[in-house]
Chain A
């Protein structure tokens, strides 16, 4: 009965969110599923998610739940750049939950030494005497909620091309190769919806010699008319700035001043 109820609750929650939706035949943002053998030392709880491990409250002895993988990583719930802990179903690879990273000084203070074994990290999840109550890795409400935000069913998983006027909200799914070909080659990209305009693609714009405006050469070459926005203290800006500098634009902006 317990598992039946979980299924129903999950269903209701998903319906309450946005209703059923697929975008371009994409897979849905999966909700975690329990896949644990009945004879497991850690049977799936009737209520709640599978546990990471058991920890003896007196001795601190750790027995890891082999069905669950705990990995440590970074949070992008806001711009603070904390660490995080991601709990995964070993079989399906789906995310069961998130938490804090005891090795990261943003999440835990005091924090675990880099060389401390992972068993100490498991102990920080427990109430074993002198362990998790004194040193535990945490993430805030936003960090916990981020997982919910990113697992909504309206996630885009395939490239979309405008199928109506800009801003009209009409799209068609296209393949990856078509996406790359169209944006790099340019041309009359929206002729199918009656737009006759010839659009400059990346290849044509990648002119690092000709001034975009001969009257004002200090504005830079044609290639400087590529403008790139993005990066939320997420450490991904390096990739964008590498592209910008090799393409020949200085216009790569972090999402900081706004």
Chain B
């Protein structure tokens, strides 16, 4: 092991780690916002409301993230409308392509988590809310969603860790996040084992920090207290 090289390139790897955190942070928050309507619609009783989220989730969960990234970053410029359209300023940048694709990808998974959480709520609680005279929307915002948040939180924290690992794919569309940065450094130093080892340590550290943070959030929301049904 050549430790001096690792120490020498530590600042570069930190830059990469920061970009990784940015990508993951935006994707999981925006993905959650996008997933709430998708998940609620997916849990609907009516087939025409269920149909679109079903197809969306099927496509994004059935194909690799790499294909989705390539479709957006390399694929979309095939069409003149995109290249002359107002969104071209964003769609030509690898950063925004990665953010958009990762958001849409993770939204599909989070929507499934939300659907599972909504369906796990005991029907009696929703009936109780309706019996107290709450409207459908009141029931959704005061009973269904807060309850589903607590049921779905552990699965959501898993999804965030999975997205942290998936963000390494952004290196294939030229972004210099942790993996991309490691590959660039290796192209210069020819020391793959040392640099990948260091990058792997960064990923382990970040996921450890995320796990701890979600544990604290679970304590704050008293997830345990809600499990006794």
| A, B assembled together | no
Residues of B that sit less than 8 Å from A by CB? none
